[in-house]
Every structure is written in C-alpha cells, then in structure tokens.
Structure 1
C-alpha cells in the first residue's frame, strides 16, 4: 500500500524558500518549494500553505507556484499555532530560526527542517534540542552539501582509505558582498556564522569536532561583527585545518582543499579536482601529483543535494529509515566551534 502524502508548510518565502528557483544557472530544484513542487515532490508531499511577514512576498509566491500563501503579522497573537502538518520548513531570516522552530513544535508538528544556521548561538540551539526531545520531535538543519553526491563520494572514499591518510584541510568561503546587508551588520551575525557554517559543518562531518588552536577576526569598527575570520584547528589524529571566511571579494568561492599522504582533492562550487602521487618526471627519486578522475565519481546529472535531504526526511517520516544527517546535536557542536573563534583571546 502506498504511504499517504506528507502534509507540509513553508515558513519564510524568500530566496532559499522560493526565489532562487528563477536563477537560470542553478541545477533544479534549488529551493524548498522547488523540491516540494517537483514531479518527485508532488508524489510525496501535500502542500498546505506558505507564510511570510511581507505581503508582496506572499503575493509573488502565490503567483509563481499557484499555492496558498498567508501573511504573518510581525507580532504574532498570543496562542498562535500553525495548522496541523507532518513537516514544517523554516526558511526565515537566521535571527528567527529558533523562534519559529519552537513555535512549530509547540503547534504539534513532529518534523521540522530548519535553514542554517539553526540558531544564533549554541545556547539557543541547545534549548531547541531539549524541546525536541521533550516533545518527541525530529529536527533537520539544511547543510545541504552533506547530501551532495560528489561530497558523499569523497567522504566515503576517505573513510575507506582509497585516498590515503588525511593530513590537512584548507577551507575557504569568500563572498562577493561589496555592500553588506544583514550578514555583515551587528544584528545578524557575520560571514562566519551565515556562510562559514557550511565549511564548519563539512569539517565536522569529515573529521569530527576539532580543537581550536588559533583564531583572528577583522572588524570594520568596534561593536560590529567580523568581515573576516581565520582559524586553525587540529583533530585528535593530528589533521591540521585552516579556515578562512571573508567578504568584500569580486567573486564567490566555497572550497575544501584536502591533502592526504598520497592524494589531493579539491571540493569546490566550481567543481571537483583529484590528484594522486606518481613518480616525478621532473625530479629523479621524487613523486609529483597528477590529475585524474577516480572510478565511480558521480556524473553531473545525478540527483542534487536538495533532493537528498528531502528524500531522507520522507524515509524517516514514512518509517523506512531512522538515519538522520546533520542532527540538532551535531549543530550544537558546529555553533560551539564557531563561537570558539569569536571568543578566542585577542
């Protein structure tokens, strides 16, 4: 017997919820509503309603998707609850992630997908973890690269030892914002929290929670969040990790540069590159790195990361699997790593 469709609501109807689906260059689906409205999504989900505090955003959403969108008052009335649903997706601004996630759980919704970062600090994330445990709720946080076939391939091959022993990771997240908005204001958290969280998540995913050795921050003026964050971590297995997150660039780049004792793997928004050690043709008795494509590396047309996380959610809700990536507990640790950089002695 075919399982019933999953009733879903979407809270926050902006870029990652809906608007980025209009980007002609992005692999589709690339938004929450893009997944829910895809042929696969329509087989698995029953969309109830979208919610946003901006009327024009609700009107644009309703026109684009031919679905219901309701305007939320900026000050919700006492006792407000969302309608009964199997799944709620929280895609609001970062400052409100914790508030709306708690409101969803208080409304009786048992499964909640929250955009990154799950909260503004580890303390708030821990309170979400406690509430989820008390109410028997399951929380996902959308660090979608965990579900990307290419990143999964690299992680699995490193785990099997196919690329040798991991020695170091250089992670860089550079953004193109020249006129910074909320991500660079004193109210919204800096690039480390908003964009660097993806890199910190992948580091935790690959090697576990590392220990901070050194960190430095650059701030435009006192009282404002950083415009650049640099940190050096080390794992128990002596893997050295360098993290550089900053804005003010003429380009956007997300990259992990992994070095093992015999390979180099570059994981980037611009693509993946693989190198392996071979006898050098330039220096007798030495080895050099030569580019190659490892067997089994996923082709570009395979399912993307957004479909991956939603597939996992469907399987858990339908009782087909208990496996969950990027749990609230893991995200508490991610925020603790980020906060350790902010707190590092000057």
Structure 2
C-alpha cells in the first residue's frame, strides 16, 4: 500500500508540536506539503520534513500529490479552509474549535458528505487513557447513576505556548472569535459528552476578560451544564492559572467518585462508596512542555480511518455538538440567562 500523502496548513505551535511530528512518526504517512503565510517559518518546516513549501493554501489544494490535510490555522479560517480542501477532494483533520458558528460547522459536514471525504476534528482529550478508562467504567455500570461533575482546563495563556507569543492571533477576536472557552473549554465540552455518554441540554455561563491586557477575547470562564438525564456540573476554562496547568475532571456517582488527571502519578483514581480506592497509572495527559507525552493518537486515528476506509473517531457532527455547547455558553453570558440547546 502506498503511503498517505499529507499537507499541513498553518505552521504554528500545534503543527510544530503535534501534527508534524506525529505524521513524521507514522510509517504510513509522507508529509509532502506545508503551508503558512509566514515565509520564513514555512521554509524552515519544509526543510525539516523534506516537503514542498506553500504560502497560499489554495495553491497547496491544487496539488494532486496531496491526499489529506491538517488545518492548523487561526480559528476563523478553520471552516473556509476545511471546506475548500474537502471540495478539492482532500480528507481533512481540523483543529478545534472546528468553526466559529453552527452554520459553518454544518457546511463543513455537508462538504465532507458531498465529496465523500473524511472530516475529523482534533479533540485529543478523548484518547487520553484515563478518559477512555472512565468512559468504560461508567458504561459498565461501575459508577452507578451519575449525579454531578466538575472539570477544569487552565494554564497561563497562549503567550507561553503560541508561535507568536503575546502577539498571537489567540488574542485577536476577529481571528480567534473566542478566547479560553474556544481554546480550552471546547476540549472539555467534548470530553464530558464523550465520558458521560450524554448530550447537554442547558448551559449557564459567566465569561470574563480579567487576566490579560489589550485583548477583547475571554480569558476566564465558568459554566454550569446540565445533561438530558439531569447530571449537573461545572466547567472552568482559563488562561489565568499562573503557576501550573489544571486539566482535571471529577465525576460523582452513586457507587463511586472518579478523579481524572487530578493526581500527578495516578491518572485515574476511583474512590468507591465501600471505602475501597483503586488507582490507575495509565500515563499522563499530553502536555505542551518539552518532553511531554507527545503522541495524542489523533493523527494515527485519522490516518488509519482513511487507509482502512472506516469512520473517524471524532466526526464533524461530534465536533459540532461540542462547539454548540460553547456557543450556548457565550449566549448565556450575553443574555444573562440559561441557554437551552435544542
């Protein structure tokens, strides 16, 4: 079987730390094209990966050599570039949040269907071992009825991690559309939907810009979420956690409490009502620090879905449902009312 030929559009941090090295480590992939509007940056990556450099994604998409692309651009370009790529007959792996509106997300899903190409959204939290294990325990009835949860995703902000530091597009509303809620919150809405196996029906949110200067996007958000069966809980997303990252989730059930990524050694701790405590050392969550666990599985899953012609594990529909929870949170903050997700 010949190798899958891949292009990466947008050569910022997520491409540098995730997409490019993970494609390079996959023996079934050949990186043939890289694209970025910053000429110096794209030529640097082209050299490292022996790929062709483009400064226009339209030109890259015209290349018959490219089978699939990763879209790693600022948020406002996710939908237009993904749609153009699907129409050009390429499979697409798009970074999260997949779009800046439900309408655009729907257009992406339609474009994938019409052109019979795969569209996957890069929600990597689903593949974290502790999260997979928690879902299995819940599905198996180990936790009993779920009552409540709390989840948080916070760090010091994109200036510590983005390719452009404090000048990053993350801080410009017209390019990012949404701040910490889009960067981190959407990871957690997706994770909760995955682990709980339920959809959210109502959202209440407070969203502020309190920690960062000179930006019009949110940096601190707290949401209250309710699922169809009545599970209620909180989600915090923040760029104002200055000392260390928090990426934990705690699920409170009838028979047990699950603590995910809450302990530095045991990525899942199950505290049973009986008093028994079971600790799982499953390997940590992927981190952005050098030497962090680098394979998110996202790339490998995308590649095998294409080569084996099977469904992608995080479809456009799934990405859209996770995005819609975030959009509902924004609406709740604006209207100062609880927002219903129909």
TM-score class normalised by the smaller sequence:
0.7 to 0.9
Displacement of 1:299 in angstroms is 5.4
After superposition, where does 1:236-275 map in structure 2 within 5 Å? 236-250=228-242, 251-268=244-261, 270=264, 272-275=267-270
Displacement of 1:17 in angstroms is 1.0
Q: Which has the higher mean CA deviation after the structures are superposed, 267-276 or 224-233?
A: 267-276
The answer on whether the counterparts of 1:6 and 1:86 sit within 8 Å (CA) in structure 2 is yes
Structure 1: how far apart are the matches of 2:214 and 2:233?
A: 28
Displacement of 1:224 in angstroms is 2.7
Structure 2: how far apart are the matches of 1:238 and 1:170?
A: 14
Structure 2: how far apart are the matches of 1:292 and 1:60?
A: 47
TM-score (norm 2): 0.81
**2:272 paired with 1:277:** yes
Number of residue equivalences: 312
In structure 2, the CA distance between the partners of 1:47 and 1:218, relative to structure 1 (3 Å rule), is closer
Displacement of 1:329 in angstroms is 0.8
The answer on whether the counterparts of 1:212 and 1:231 sit within 8 Å (CA) in structure 2 is no
Structure 2: how far apart are the matches of 1:58 and 1:341?
A: 36
**2:186 paired with 1:197:** yes
Give CA deviations for 1:185-224 in whole Å, capped at 9, x if unaligned.
Answer: 3222211011111001111112322122422222459993
The answer on whether the counterparts of 1:190 and 1:226 sit within 8 Å (CA) in structure 2 is yes
Name which one, 1 or 2, has greater alpha-carbon Rg.
1
| One of 37, 50, 53 as aligned partner of 1:70 | 53
Structure 1: how far apart are the matches of 2:282 and 2:5?
A: 32
User: In structure 2, the residue corresponding to 1:225 is in which secondary structure?
Assistant: coil
In structure 2, the CA distance between the partners of 1:163 and 1:203, relative to structure 1 (3 Å rule), is same
**2:58 paired with 1:60:** no
In structure 2, the CA distance between the partners of 1:115 and 1:222, relative to structure 1 (3 Å rule), is closer
The answer on whether the counterparts of 2:9 and 2:70 sit within 8 Å (CA) in structure 1 is yes
Structure 2 runs not aligned, ≥5 long: 160-165, 286-292, 337-342
In structure 2, the CA distance between the partners of 1:115 and 1:167, relative to structure 1 (3 Å rule), is same
In structure 2, the CA distance between the partners of 1:274 and 1:80, relative to structure 1 (3 Å rule), is closer
The answer on whether the counterparts of 1:5 and 1:46 sit within 8 Å (CA) in structure 2 is yes
TM-score (norm 1): 0.81
What residue in structure 2 maps to residue 94 of structure 1?
A: 75
After superposition, where does 1:51-200 map in structure 2 within 5 Å? 51-65=35-49, 67-73=50-56, 81-109=62-90, 111-177=91-157, 181-187=168-174, 188=176, 189-200=178-189
Displacement of 1:300 in angstroms is 6.3
In structure 2, the CA distance between the partners of 1:257 and 1:248, relative to structure 1 (3 Å rule), is same
In structure 2, the CA distance between the partners of 1:204 and 1:131, relative to structure 1 (3 Å rule), is same
**2:230 paired with 1:232:** no
The answer on whether the counterparts of 2:124 and 2:296 sit within 8 Å (CA) in structure 1 is no
What residue in structure 2 maps to residue 28 of structure 1?
A: none
Displacement of 1:273 in angstroms is 3.8
**2:272 paired with 1:292:** no
Structure 1 runs not aligned, ≥5 long: 21-30, 280-288
Displacement of 1:85 in angstroms is 2.3
The answer on whether the counterparts of 2:128 and 2:284 sit within 8 Å (CA) in structure 1 is no
The answer on whether the counterparts of 1:174 and 1:247 sit within 8 Å (CA) in structure 2 is yes
Displacement of 1:12 in angstroms is 1.5
**2:296 paired with 1:313:** no
The answer on whether the counterparts of 1:147 and 1:306 sit within 8 Å (CA) in structure 2 is no
Structure 1: how far apart are the matches of 2:117 and 2:319?
A: 16
Structure 1: how far apart are the matches of 2:48 and 2:66?
A: 23
What residue in structure 1 maps to residue 290 of structure 2?
A: none
In structure 2, the CA distance between the partners of 1:159 and 1:305, relative to structure 1 (3 Å rule), is farther
The answer on whether the counterparts of 1:91 and 1:115 sit within 8 Å (CA) in structure 2 is yes
What residue in structure 2 maps to residue 49 of structure 1?
A: 33
RMSD value, Cα: 2.8
**2:327 paired with 1:329:** no
